[in-house]
Amino acid sequence: MLEIVHTPVLLKECLTLLCPEEGYTDEAWMIDSTLGEGGHSEAFLNAFPSLNVIGIDADSVIQETAKRRLSHFGDRMHFYNGWFTDFYESYPVEFPKPNLILFDLGISVFHYEKSGRGFSFRYDEALDMRLNPEKQTVSAADIVNGYGEEELSNVLFLYGEEKLSRRFARAIVEVRRGGKIESSKTLADIIFRASPSAYRYGAIHPATRTFQALRIAVNSELRIIPPALHNAFNCLEIGGKLGVITFHSLEDRIVKTYFRNLGKKCVCPPEFACCKCGGVQCADVLTKKPVCASDAEVKENAPSRSAKLRVVRKLSNATEYHLNGVEGF
């Protein structure tokens, strides 16, 4: 029996805001940019019988689960094993331009519970955190054991917004003098011991932000978002819709800024004497404020509490100027 551990967030909201537009219902194409175990794709395929879906995932292990889960949809479901950045940068010629694109930027529960790669400090696992170990060379252990104290502190502060980043970096460097830090539990224990007593028993475990920061650094999660969104948007058919689910403020800031630029008529810097971006609004922003999970969903699926969905509808292609101010960290 196929075991599914991840519950997709904001499912009803995605189906409503990203439904195929009238005129595309006969044969619409959607790209699930972060396929995971296939929860969002399954819901869309069930809801829209004429929809075709392309599912992208860098992790071949989790994609095998999705393939088994979605096999009964036959040739309506297509798979791409690789990074969504590569996919959108060189859009495969064998696929039609999509009418719908969804990014769910959260890490699947599968990775925390089943991957064995140290994403969670609940288990004593090798400190890895790579989404694609076959192609990525730098693991979380490499960062923890190889970065200098200041560089490590910067990673924790920038990607985890950890206010005790210097304290934790110092503690990590001190411990590793006695030998490499190689397991998730060891790292979590170091952070716990280095935390002030009031910090140890807060709303979240004191190592939570450190693990987030390392995961983001290992997989370049923030750096790849701006070009991926930009290329994905330009792959869309005119009238198509792009939706993005984020789970923390750093991701949401990137998406919010890019979507806001798409909704403007001009995004040229003020020092430009005349408009060079074309002076054309590229998208209608369909979510003036992010869509968040209902109280009922949060009660049923705790990870949804921090999820935010933003959606735009394409009017024309974007230019490089539309990336102005979109920080990829």
Report the share of the chain in percent with pLDDT over 90: 81
Q: Residue ranges of the chain with pLDDT lower than 70? A: 1, 22-26, 328-329
Nearest to 327 by CA among 223, 190, 214: 223
Please give the Cα distance from 168 to 163 (Å, whole number): 10
For residue 124, the number of C-alpha atoms closer than 13 Å in the C-beta half-sphere is 3
pLDDT at 329: 64
Nearest to 310 by CA among 246, 239, 249, 236: 246
pLDDT in tens, 35-54: 999 999 999 999 999 999 99
pLDDT at 5: 73
Angle between helices 149-160 and 165-176 (to 10 degrees): 140
| DSSP structure class, residue 275 | -
Query: 147-168 burial by CB neighbour count: b if 16+ within 10 A, else e?
Result: beeeebbbbbbbbbebebbbbb
- pTM, two decimals, is 0.91
